[in-house]
Structure 1
Amino acid sequence: MTNPPLTVACFPYDTTRPLFDGSVSTDGIDVTMETATTLPSIFERLIRRNEFDIAELGLTFYLRLLETGLPYVALPIFPNRVFRHSCIFVNIYSGITEPGDLVGKTIGEFGTYGQDSGVWAKGILMDEYGFNPEQSRWVIGGLEHPAPPFDFIPHPHPADVDVNAAPEGKTLGAMLEAGEIDALFSANVPQCVLDGSPNVTRLFPDSEPLERDYYRRTGIFPIMHAIVIRRELLQHSPGLVHDVYRAFSRAKDAAADRYRQNRRLYQVQTMVPWMNALVERNGEEFPEDWWPYGVAANRATLDAFLRYHYEQGLSTRQWRIEDVFAPELLDT
């Protein structure tokens, strides 16, 4: 089948890099791979200008626009997954030492109330620790550079949740370090933490055992983003959805194979000490496919995110998986 040239935009993760360097075939599809310095830049270009044929998009960005009519449909391809116990940072003078201490506190969040990482962090705290977002105050802004809330997506939130923009000229990272906010839910590690600020720590300083235990109990490896494709492309080329799914799957499998094969060489392509031990430990706890695509292997994870999105007042309805993804791939 001959398809028109397509523009694909995503971040060059280890699981997508084979598409950038051409080491994985795209089944004869003529693609131009693009990326950007930040993921929100890709999201904005997609949402504002429909700039790409296929692109990575945050799940909450997609769901917020699904109700109003989005010319893209999601595929069950998930290039970005991160455990989120580790993404909650607190000022050490805030009095926050456990989740219950977040009550009455002021919490920062990047870009929007309920960014993908924030949806997961809030949802996990709600399920595991009885957290209630409406019992805290929320400040939305830029992490390291002053910025207003994203203006290219809707900003729904329950009426009883106190949400405000950060003061002009202020950044969330600096506000956290100075104690102007008590906590921060962040997809990225704040620069003050990277610089070793004594004023900031994680809510869960030893987060890895908690995240591993969470995975063992729930089977959930949190999904942040999906790949979306222009709907009109599928009307003209119905088989394209399977071609794209296979191409991304092969790229992901190639990354996994590299980790497995490089155990023989002690993962020397990374130069990270003890990387082999980490790969072996993960291999004992995860199935053979660490980052499965498709619906079946991700149903529990997707159902949790869709529930969290609704419970946090970010959707007017609780979406079903069947409503969200391309019907041609619901049997994957």
Structure 2
Amino acid sequence: MLGDYPHTRVLRDGTIPVAGADCRFLSASPLHTAFPRMVRALEFDVCEMPVATYLMARDAGVPLTLLPAVLIGATHHHSLTRLPDGPELDVRRLAGRRIGVRSYGQTTGLWVRGILREDYGVEASDVTWVTTEDAHVDTYVNPPNVRRSSAGGVAALLRAADVDAAVLGPRAIGVQGVPLVPVIEDAEEAAAAWVERHGTVPANHLLVVRDDVLRSRPDAVTALFRALARGIDETVGERDPATPAGRAVTAGCSDSLARCLEIAARYALEQGLVRTPVDLDRIHKDVAFLDA
């Protein structure tokens, strides 16, 4: 189960074969509807998965192994949005405000809350998070400052003035039917400073494999991963390396990915998405053979 990107399309259409494995590529629209199917029912052998969903599933004991491929990523200082005709918000004074997000466990929300704490001194617990969906991991219990709305979507919360701001991923901002502007006025500059400071771009979607599939067919998993890595390499011209999103797409256990996972794991623990510190060494050791 993979999204539709240049680097996955070449696997889907057979331009890049997966040697020794008979792969059936599935689709879901929207893609995020596939993620609970994977973590709740292990419906697919290999599945694209948001970073936060993976960390939460791992914390809940779901038998999945992370594969070191970033399928999409981006900076998220611009993902905290408001209506252009609404009152301006001081990002440092969001305590007591209501912010909409699809679910508390959404990866864009993970990055935004981490940014708010790290760059602007706003704790996740200072804000009321208004959600329109449950977490992908069905055993997860939201913190007490999370409220569920029956609105049709996050943009609807803004239009109804039920929230002061909303968290929307880069792909979602342009399809909401309303123009939105970043709450952080210098979002692009602030994002560039974050990337420079951390030496990585926030990953949104990685790749996971069921543990039983990895045990029974490591050859097929390796073949798929190497085909994807080749796809990422051969479609580099279809991404803009001048943008964080263009640089984010990678395959392999790089220093950048290690830093990204370390930050995401820390944010997840701070925000109550996971109960115990993430064993990053174990995650890296589980997939070290892919770089051999």
| TM-score bracket, shorter-length normalisation | 0.7 to 0.9
Partner in structure 2 of residue 296 of structure 1: 254
Contact between 1:296 and 1:331, CA under 8 Å: does it hold in 2? no
Partner in structure 2 of residue 79 of structure 1: 71
Q: CA deviation at 1:225?
A: 1.9
Partner in structure 2 of residue 189 of structure 1: 173
Q: Secondary structure at the match of 2:278?
A: coil
* Gaps in structure 2 of 5+ consecutive residues: none
Q: What is the alpha-carbon distance in structure 2 between the residues aligned to residue 208 and residue 164 of structure 1?
A: 30
5 Å-filtered alignment, 1:61-76, equals: 61-76=53-68
Contact between 2:20 and 2:220, CA under 8 Å: does it hold in 1? no
Q: What is the alpha-carbon distance in structure 2 between the residues aligned to residue 178 and residue 206 of structure 1?
A: 26
5 Å-filtered alignment, 1:223-242, equals: 223-242=203-222
Contact between 2:105 and 2:136, CA under 8 Å: does it hold in 1? no
- Deviations 1:138-196, CA, capped at 9 Å, x for gaps: 1110xxxxxx42475333444xx511101x3553212202322101112221655x543
Partner in structure 2 of residue 222 of structure 1: 202
Of 152, 161, 174, which aligns to 1:179? 161
When the two chains are superposed, the root-mean-square deviation of aligned CA atoms in Å is 2.7
Q: What is the alpha-carbon distance in structure 2 between the residues aligned to residue 299 and residue 151 of structure 1?
A: 24
Distance 1:182 1:328, change over 3 A: closer
Query: Is 1:105 the equivalent of 2:90?
Result: no
Distance 1:259 1:189, change over 3 A: closer
Q: What is the alpha-carbon distance in structure 2 between the residues aligned to residue 195 and residue 219 of structure 1?
A: 34
Distance 1:15 1:211, change over 3 A: farther
With normalisation by structure 2, the TM-score equals 0.87
Of 83, 105, 117, which aligns to 1:126? 117
Of 11, 17, 22, which aligns to 2:14? 22
Query: Is 1:40 the equivalent of 2:25?
Result: no
5 Å-filtered alignment, 1:195-274, equals: 195-196=178-179, 200-205=180-185, 207-256=187-236, 258-259=237-238
Q: What is the alpha-carbon distance in structure 1 between the residues aligned to residue 269 and residue 84 of structure 2?
A: 32
Q: If you compute each CA radius of gyration, which structure gives the higher value, 1 or 2? A: 1
Partner in structure 2 of residue 163 of structure 1: 146
Query: Is 1:138 the equivalent of 2:129?
Result: yes
- State the AA in 2 paired with 1:155: Y
Distance 1:151 1:312, change over 3 A: closer
- State the AA in 1 paired with 2:250: P
Partner in structure 2 of residue 323 of structure 1: 282
Contact between 2:40 and 2:137, CA under 8 Å: does it hold in 1? yes
Q: What is the alpha-carbon distance in structure 1 between the residues aligned to residue 175 and residue 221 of structure 2?
A: 40
Partner in structure 1 of residue 134 of structure 2: 149
Q: Secondary structure at the match of 2:49?
A: strand
Q: What is the alpha-carbon distance in structure 2 between the residues aligned to residue 170 and residue 237 of structure 1?
A: 42
Aligned residue pair count? 288
Q: Secondary structure at the match of 1:239?
A: helix
Distance 1:97 1:118, change over 3 A: same
Q: CA deviation at 1:41?
A: 1.5
Same amino acid, percent of matched pairs: 25
- State the AA in 2 paired with 1:203: V
Q: CA deviation at 1:292?
A: 2.6
Distance 1:286 1:88, change over 3 A: closer
Contact between 1:75 and 1:326, CA under 8 Å: does it hold in 2? no
Distance 1:323 1:153, change over 3 A: farther
Q: What is the alpha-carbon distance in structure 2 between the residues aligned to residue 64 and residue 280 of structure 1?
A: 31
Higher relative contact order (CA 8 A, sep 6+): 2
- Deviations 1:247-271, CA, capped at 9 Å, x for gaps: 1101111110x348xxxxxxxxxxx
With normalisation by structure 1, the TM-score equals 0.78
- State the AA in 2 paired with 1:295: C
Contact between 1:173 and 1:191, CA under 8 Å: does it hold in 2? no
Q: What is the alpha-carbon distance in structure 1 between the residues aligned to residue 37 and residue 285 of structure 2?
A: 22
Q: Secondary structure at the match of 1:229?
A: strand
Distance 1:320 1:71, change over 3 A: closer
